[in-house]
A and B are shown apart, each in its own frame.
Chain A
Amino acid sequence: MAPTLSPDPNLAPALLKLLDRLERRVRSQRAVASAAAGACLALMLSAVGVAALRTQWIDPTLWWTVPLAAGLLIVAAALWGWRRAVDRIAIAQHIDRHYDLHDRISTALSLAMSPPQDAAGQAFARAQAADALTYLDRIDLREATPWQRPADTTLLAACALVTIGVGIVPLPDHRGTLPPPFEVRYEAFVDDATLALERDRIAALREALGDDPDPQAEAMLDAMEELLDRAEARTISQREFLEEIEKIETQLDAADEVIAQELETLSRTLADAAQELASENAEALAEEPALKEAIDALANNDLATASEALETLAESIQEEGISPERAERLAELLETFSDKLNAEDERLQDLVEKHRDALEKLAEQFGDEGNLTEEQQALLDEAEEMLSNAENAREEFDTSEAKNQLERLSRDLDEVVNEYLAEAKGSEDGDEGIAGQAEENRGDRPDYRNEVSRKMEDASEQLSEAGEQQSSQQQREEIRRQMQEMRESMSRGTGEASEEEQRRGDQVEDFMERARGESEARDDAQLDQERAQQQGEPGEAGQDGEQKPGAEAEQAQGEEGEAQNPGQPGGGEPPPGGEGGQANSEGETNDGEYRPGESDAPGGDGPDEQAQGSGETELDGERVQEQAQGQENSSGKSRAEIIRGASEEGFASAEYQEVYADYESVAEEVMERENVPDGYRFFIKRYFQLIRPQQP
């Protein structure tokens, strides 16, 4: 701004100088205020920085960055305050108002910045500027614009206190151990009674699998049992439970498919071999009806019948002996059959060779020129594809279990053939062959037929093993049905188990234990007491035998009793129950009440090996241990088995009468104790009338 309108060249600069001083004062004031605001922000950031340093989120060696950043922030804020635009007219108005100058200073400045255009106005402007300058002497900027404390001073103090506090108070260490992961507890979707029932079903299926269960079926049962455990522990939701069941079913289906394929391969191979043998050696087979029966059964894919026929043949050889001619005939037949059971699938091999030859011929014919017609090229592609499929099928067959079984069967048959041939040769040489060797070794008449028959039995076992695969399919069908039932019952989940439902679950468990003959009848008060003890002192129930006088404690008694009388198979004939004595060892009680599975005899026969071993040889400690384990694993008829047997054989057995009486009394107790509607009471009574035991 040029002092063009100043009447005195020295006066206009005086006004400008005054305004410059005033502007610097205003800028200083603003810079300090902005610096205070920036200091508030810097202190808050410093608090964060101090916290980060103390908790070592920031490397302690970089501590200088915190004050540096804070200082830069304050300086930046102060510079921003200083650099903010200042309206000089506004600050001149402030002076006018403070000294009541009626806008003389501001008007002089304004008219100097934008002077009037007409001469009269300019004259007025000069007069007005001169008038304004006469008031400069009375203006004191320190009085007009006194130093003011920044408005953020209180906030600044508060921020400083916060920063100091952050530097003093102990802060949590983020490097500490994390809290334990959150344990997911799903809502209960199945009650204890259903769980007990499902466990009982699985136990029944395990028993049905026998001593040598199908590994896949057993794995399925393990998986189902694990799912039940997880459902009881509420570590799985209902939806996840059902998904897992579905997954297991899918695996079961896939396994079934593989087994079915292998069975089909095995059966087809055996059937083809049997059919070829039957057609090529009809006369020889006619002289061996037992072998013919086995071959026919194999041709009809009836592996079980074939196994029985071979077993019969072996028994007849053992009992009746075998002539050299017959031995030679059997050897030829079996050798032929064995050859036809060559594990190398000749058809596949032939197919591969055939197509490989075709490809080689094509390649020779056309060389490397590749000038094939479309038809020829299509033919070549088709041949290559067929070759590839044949090789794949061959590889699959090589890796299949069916091939292994066929190889084992072929090997067993070869051994039988060798035995027969040795027998036949020995007879011709006047020697006794195997029998002669045995006679030489042991000094009396050898039972060489046992060796031959045993070899034959091995072959029979190979066939029966294949037949067992068919039966294991039935087991898996049972498991699948069980899984479907379990899924249905879980789908009808009852939600959170109430006290009454827990009680009912305990009753069902007790009932099932009693049904299995593992415990005595207990009343509700006893059940409640036990449950309360289990809830109040978790972990003791498994350690204290007195608190849980059920299966575990009694099982321990049973084992102890057996250990005191090792290797005593007992005297008389085994009862119809057969293994009732062993079952008694598990269900034995001291009060003389009904003991399920108990027979009149003090002990029945165990397995044949045990009976032979215990009766004829002296037992050592290990033998005793093996016998105890065998008894522990075996069991007599449980109540469930008795009921199942009654449904198949009729309601006339003495065991069923006892079970019926026990169940009926339980039902009557329940109907007396519980509030059962009359309609249901009728059905329950009617049900027991229908299954009432009949007179034998």
Chain B
Amino acid sequence: MSSENTAPDASVQAKVQAFQKDAGRIREEVGKMIVGQRDIINGVIQVMLAGGNVLLEGVPGLGKTMLVRTLSEALGLNFSRIQFTPDLMPTDIVGATIIVEGEDRQKHFKFERGPIFSNIVLADEVNRATPKTQSAMLEAMQERSVTVGKETYKLDDPFFVLATQNPLEMEGTYPLPEAQLDRFLFKLVVKFPDLDELHSIMERTTQVSQPEVNPVIDKARLLEMKRFAREVPVARHVQDYALRILQGTHPEHPGAPEITRKYVRFGSSPRGAQAIMTTARVRALTEGRFNVSSEDVRRSAQNALRHRVILNFEGEAEGVSTDTIVQKIIEATPEST
């Protein structure tokens, strides 16, 4: 074996360090505006660098919109916000073809792009729109393109959707079907801040001077980071660990823990394992490591699987949360066989 093959690639080490540094800068910049919520911020950054979309669940007023806006500003990306309401139409999201008068006084059709044509889209209270409207946006999330009439319009890259939904006020809402939930890489639960965090929120938002958010990376760097994150190799036993956790969500699997067999109707699809591994790679890089660890898998598994596990009647009746089930599955799955 030649020394060229055995010599460490200095650029890899540098890239990893740069990745860790840039990710840290994004986190710090967002942290100027968002008090606390470190897990949410890290989760959102991981999903964004992994090229996925995230579903945020939390009561109103917890800074979800602020998080998205701050993130777009820190990344130097354009941002649009769509407030989902029952009367929201698909054209309100993707855009519509309208008749416009040209310079030659001739009228002709013109496609007017909707808010979906942004790098970062905040779909606020996505469960309040009708399924038809939801599907229009979710199609854009999956295909990264929008078809209107005979024309297909490709969305700009990076394209990142943050959807929010309110766990309260379920009256008159249209919960997302499981197939569409599966398209979100992570589902993050935004918790209510503690007292110290509330103090900080009061101080930052009720004073005259507001913190200023500056772009820390540009779009090109973001795309480079996304591509680099996919190059991280994963050891076989670590990947095996992720897959065994995934199998643990299936009640029919012989190795599934008791809680799964008792309360779970359907387990996660392979997209869940994909979500775990892609986000685990990003997490390893953000921590400056060259390898994905079992700890990365465990951390990603909770966010990647909680919306992919479908409870059965007993689980719903007894109010068992999917977080509890996923946590039990992770605890029941050994790292090595």
Q: Which residues of A contact B (CB under 8 A)?
A: 2, 4-9, 87, 89-90, 93, 96-97, 102-104, 106-108, 110-111, 114, 116, 120-132
Give Cα A6–Cα B236 distance, bound, in whole angstroms.
Answer: 19
Complex contacts, A111 vs chain B, CB 8 Å: 233, 235, 291
Give Cα A66–Cα B151 distance, bound, in whole angstroms.
Answer: 92
Contact between A93 and B335, CB atoms less than 8 A apart: yes
Say whether B1 faces chain A, with CB atoms less than 8 Å apart: yes
Contact between B237 and A102, CB atoms less than 8 A apart: no
- Which residues of chain B in 1-56 are interfacial with respect to chain A, using CB atoms and an 8 Å cutoff? 1, 5-9, 11-13, 16
Contact between A4 and B233, CB atoms less than 8 A apart: no
- Residue from B6, B9, B236 within 8 A of A9 (CB atoms): B6
Say whether B232 faces chain A, with CB atoms less than 8 Å apart: yes
User: B299 → chain A, closest Cβ, in Å?
Assistant: 11
Q: With a 10 A CB-CB cut-off, give which of B16, B287, B294 has the most chain A CB atoms.
A: B294
Say whether B289 faces chain A, with CB atoms less than 8 Å apart: yes
Give Cα A538–Cα B1 distance, bound, in whole angstroms.
Answer: 108
Contact between B233 and A128, CB atoms less than 8 A apart: yes
User: B290 → chain A, closest Cβ, in Å?
Assistant: 4
Complex contacts, A87 vs chain B, CB 8 Å: 336
Contact between A93 and B336, CB atoms less than 8 A apart: yes
Q: With a 10 A CB-CB cut-off, give which of B236, B291, B296 has the most chain A CB atoms.
A: B291
How many B residues touch the partner, as a band?
20 to 34
Residue interface bits B133-166, CB-to-A below 8 A is 1, else 0: 0000000000000000000000000000000000
- Residue from B233, B238, B293, B294 within 8 A of A124 (CB atoms): B233
Residue interface bits B57-94, CB-to-A below 8 A is 1, else 0: 00000000000000000000000000000000000000
Q: Report whether over half of chain B's contact residues are helix, strand or loop; otherwise say mixed.
A: loop
Complex contacts, B7 vs chain A, CB 8 Å: 7, 126
Identify the closest chain B residue to A2 (Cβ).
B1
Contact between B231 and A131, CB atoms less than 8 A apart: no
Complex contacts, A127 vs chain B, CB 8 Å: 8-9, 12-13, 16, 290
Contact between A116 and B233, CB atoms less than 8 A apart: yes
Contact between B231 and A120, CB atoms less than 8 A apart: yes
Give Cα A124–Cα B232 distance, bound, in whole angstroms.
Answer: 6
Q: A124-B290, A130-B8 are in contact. List 6 more A-B contacts (CB 8 A).
A: A2-B1, A103-B291, A108-B291, A124-B231, A127-B16, A128-B290
Give Cα A132–Cα B233 distance, bound, in whole angstroms.
Answer: 14
Residue interface bits B289-307, CB-to-A below 8 A is 1, else 0: 1111111100000000000
Give Cα A107–Cα B237 distance, bound, in whole angstroms.
Answer: 8
Complex contacts, A126 vs chain B, CB 8 Å: 5-9, 12
Give Cα A81–Cα B37 distance, bound, in whole angstroms.
Answer: 51
Give Cα A110–Cα B290 distance, bound, in whole angstroms.
Answer: 13
Give Cα A307–Cα B232 distance, bound, in whole angstroms.
Answer: 135
Q: Which residues of B contact A (CB under 8 A)?
A: 1, 5-9, 11-13, 16, 231-233, 235-238, 284, 287, 289-296, 335-337
Give Cα A481–Cα B295 distance, bound, in whole angstroms.
Answer: 103
Give Cα A7–Cα B5 distance, bound, in whole angstroms.
Answer: 8
14 residue pairs bridging A and B, Cβ less than 8 Å apart: A4-B1, A5-B6, A6-B6, A7-B6, A7-B8, A90-B336, A93-B237, A93-B335, A96-B293, A104-B293, A107-B235, A124-B12, A125-B233, A128-B290
User: B118 → chain A, closest Cβ, in Å?
Assistant: 31
Give Cα A4–Cα B235 distance, bound, in whole angstroms.
Answer: 16
Instruction: Knowing A114-B236, A124-B12, A126-B9, say if A102 contacts B289 (CB, 8 Å).
Output: yes
Q: With a 10 A CB-CB cut-off, give which of A6, A93, A123 has the most chain B CB atoms.
A: A123
Give Cα A244–Cα B227 distance, bound, in whole angstroms.
Answer: 105
User: B19 → chain A, closest Cβ, in Å?
Assistant: 12
Identify the closest chain A residue to B230 (Cβ).
A120
Instruction: Knowing A107-B238, A124-B290, say if A4 contacts B335 (CB, 8 Å).
Output: no
Contact between B237 and A123, CB atoms less than 8 A apart: no
Give Cα A106–Cα B9 distance, bound, in whole angstroms.
Answer: 20
Give Cα A119–Cα B136 distance, bound, in whole angstroms.
Answer: 39
- Residue from A4, A9, A103, A114 within 8 A of B293 (CB atoms): A103
User: A207 → chain B, closest Cβ, in Å?
Assistant: 91
User: A11 → chain B, closest Cβ, in Å?
Assistant: 10
Complex contacts, B291 vs chain A, CB 8 Å: 102-104, 107-108, 111, 128, 131-132
Give Cα A129–Cα B12 distance, bound, in whole angstroms.
Answer: 12
Instruction: Knowing A123-B9, A124-B12, A126-B8, say if A106 contacts B237 (CB, 8 Å).
Output: yes
Which are the 10 A-B pairs with shortest beta-carbon distances? A102-B293, A128-B290, A110-B235, A123-B9, A107-B291, A107-B235, A7-B8, A103-B293, A127-B12, A120-B231
Identify the closest chain A residue to B289 (Cβ).
A102
Contact between A103 and B236, CB atoms less than 8 A apart: no
Give Cα A106–Cα B1 distance, bound, in whole angstroms.
Answer: 22
Q: With a 10 A CB-CB cut-off, give which of B5, B233, B293, B294 has the most chain A CB atoms.
A: B233
Complex contacts, A128 vs chain B, CB 8 Å: 233, 290-291
Give Cα A128–Cα B13 distance, bound, in whole angstroms.
Answer: 9
Complex contacts, A120 vs chain B, CB 8 Å: 231
Contact between A121 and B289, CB atoms less than 8 A apart: no
Complex contacts, B295 vs chain A, CB 8 Å: 102-103
Instruction: Knowing A122-B5, A127-B9, say if A103 contacts B238 (CB, 8 Å).
Output: yes
Complex contacts, A96 vs chain B, CB 8 Å: 293
